[in-house]
Structure 1
Amino acid sequence: MKCKVQQKFSSYPDQIKPRMENLRDLIYEVAKNTEGVGKLEETLKWGEPAYLTSQTKSGTTIRIDWKPKNPDQIGMYVSCNTTLVSTFRTMFGDDLKFEGNRAIYFPVDKPLPKKQVMICIQMALRYHLDKGT
């Protein structure tokens, strides 16, 4: 983990840090097991941990964060220029909470819906490959 990203994770409250690390681990797990994705680059974008498919340009950037103004949730964000959140909403509208066309929010007091989250991550990491662009 890069120093600035590590500092960001260290800044999360004690009860939030494991949730953020769990979501980060899922992103890496999905990337490792998804054809065409390649190695991820971990960095900060807009002060948030971000995961880019830099070597293959297979997908769109995924950002994750927790914000004090919404302490009861963590977020996963994708580019608002994609159709991903619209697709996620169609697939998982009863299981996940969305905002606009860029965010999925997960309550911090419940386990991550791992299967649905992994599908969303995979679709984001393969977005350009699957769109044929």
Structure 2
Amino acid sequence: MQHPFQTPAIKAAFAAFAPPHRAALLTLRDLIFDTAAPLPIGQITESLKWGQPSYTTNTATPIRLGVTKTNDIAILTHCQSTVMSDFRALAPPDMRFDGNRALHLDPTDTIPLNDITPLIRAALTYRL
């Protein structure tokens, strides 16, 4: 389900991504909102951080979406949180990570939504 953009700046940021990146990042954006819906975390705030779409609540460590220098898409969390390292310990072995800060995905592959949902949930509920 496509969720409405909260600001024109967010809409413009997604419009600026190349088509394959945009489609994959919009899928991840929907996953964030869909994962958040049943959780007791309040409303998600969507903003731009370092020019990238960012998602947070009072209970979350921020989640950012972006494109890497190698043209992968990335889900980024705060590197000083344990979210990414905890997820990496449980993730399928073929997933690619950038330290404790990012999960890299090929925008032309099918996004493994079921595999990524625990990462999103953990970031959204990090402060609970």
Q: State TM-score, norm by structure 2.
A: 0.91
1:17 partner SS: helix
CA contact (8 A) 2:20 2:108 kept: no
Give the length in aligned residue pairs: 123
Q: Which residue of the other structure, out of 43, 46, 49, is the alignment partner of 2:50? A: 46
1:60 aligns with: 61
Q: CA deviation at 1:93?
A: 4.7
Separation (CA, whole Å) in 2 of partners of 1:77 and 1:15 = 19
Alignment of 1:108-127 (within 5 A): 108-127=107-126
Report the identity percentage: 31
Query: How far does residue 121 in structure 1 lie from its aligned partner after superposition?
Result: 0.1
2:36 aligns with: 31
Segments of structure 2 that go 5 or more residues without pairing to the other structure are: none
Instruction: Kindly provide the CA deviation profile for residues 2-42 of structure 1, in whole angstroms up to 9, marking residues without a partner as x.
Output: 111111100011222111110000000001122x2111000
Distance in 2 separating the partners of 1:76 and 1:100: 12
Runs of 4+ aligned structure 1 residues displaced above 4 Å come to: none
- Which amino acid in structure 1 is aligned with residue 84 of structure 2? V
Pairwise CA RMSD? 1.1
Structure 2 Cα separation of the partners of residues 39 and 14 of structure 1: 28
TM-score by length of 1: 0.88
